[in-house]
Structure 1
Amino acid sequence: MHNGKCLDLSFAATESEASAGIAQLSQRLSAQGLPTHKAGDVKIALAEAINNVIEHAYADITPAKVKVRCRLHQNWLEILISDTGNPLPGFRVPDGIPASLGSTIDELPEGGFGWFLIHELTSDIRYERSNGCNRLSLRFDFPKPS
């Protein structure tokens, strides 16, 4: 897969299907040569992005499928996540600024950390909405060690 061959997976936009899909993708990417030191970052960012699809893109509408396409090259990985849910607010990737932390655990916000994590763990993020479909691209660079 280092020559850029694709790895595709599609699953229902539910928590259980997403969890199984993320585990399967992580295993298949590792088997195809994803560097061990990047595997955790990829899994966390993938889980956060797919969780956003389930919780927000399909909020108040009937969930459909989430499609994931991975292209693993020698020095980088691109993951394209597609869904037919609601678009991202403002049709753009959120800034990823972490939510303000309260002084007590009870004051911690419910969300606001996912996009921060995705921004921190990826090399590039792109989003487009076309013909009723959301397409979120996550890129992970892993240059060869010197």
Structure 2
Amino acid sequence: MLPAPDQAGTAGGLHLVFLASPLAVRNSLAQMLAAPALRSLSPDARGTVELVLAEVLNNVTEHAYDGRPGPVAVTLVPVAAGIHCLVVDQGLVMPGGTLPEGNPPDLGTPLETLPEGGFGWHMIRSLTRDLAYVRTGGSNRVSFLLPLDA
């Protein structure tokens, strides 16, 4: 069982627990962006945080839970270098037990012929630091730092 939500968070951070679904992800992202930990960021930094969290959470919804609802816990903690993020779910293990590398888009390919998928993890890797994945106790744990100096 995932930990209960702590709407106030600790040390200026935020901890949310919700069921993975497209609507819940959208609502939770709005709640995260309104929290003190993210509300005070510059518009560019908030945009980056929103983009990365949306991609990670949509991957959990679409792939870890295969479109079925399941619990997701997100913890955001401000640190000197940025925002430390931890996303925990009880969905399927990552293929091969590791994070996908992701593929950079081929900018020479016409948009209508680009393959579906594979770009999200490349984007996540390029916008975060210290990206890590571990499967423990039936849970997936993805952690990363969203640097504020990028």
Q: Using structure 1 for the length normalisation, give the TM-score.
A: 0.84
Equivalent in the alignment of 1:30: 38
Distance 1:43 1:23 in 2: 9
1:129 to 122, 126, 135: 135
Q: Structure 2 matches for 1:1-146, cutoff 5 A?
A: 4-28=11-35, 29-31=37-39, 33-59=40-66, 62-98=68-104, 100=106, 103-143=109-149
Q: Percent identity?
A: 36
| Structure 1 residues 14-61: Cα deviation after superposition (integer angstroms, max 9, x where no partner) | 000100101110121333x4344421111100000000000100117x
Name the Cα RMSD after superposition.
2.3
Report the Cα offset of residue 99 of structure 1. Answer: 5.0
Closer, same or farther in 2 for the Cα pair 1:14/1:102, shift >3 Å? Answer: farther
Closer, same or farther in 2 for the Cα pair 1:103/1:95, shift >3 Å? Answer: closer
| 3-state DSSP of counterpart to 1:51 | helix
| 3-state DSSP of counterpart to 2:60 | helix
| Structure 1 residues 60-97: Cα deviation after superposition (integer angstroms, max 9, x where no partner) | 7x421111011112332111000000011111111133
Q: Using structure 2 for the length normalisation, give the TM-score.
A: 0.82
Runs of 4+ in 1 over 4 A off after TM superposition: 99-102
Count residues with an aligned counterpart. 140
The answer to whether the 8 A contact 1:99-1:109 is kept is no
The answer to whether the 8 A contact 1:53-1:83 is kept is yes
Report the Cα offset of residue 105 of structure 1. Answer: 3.5
Partner amino acid, structure 2, of 1:51: N
Query: 5+ residue gaps in structure 1?
Result: none
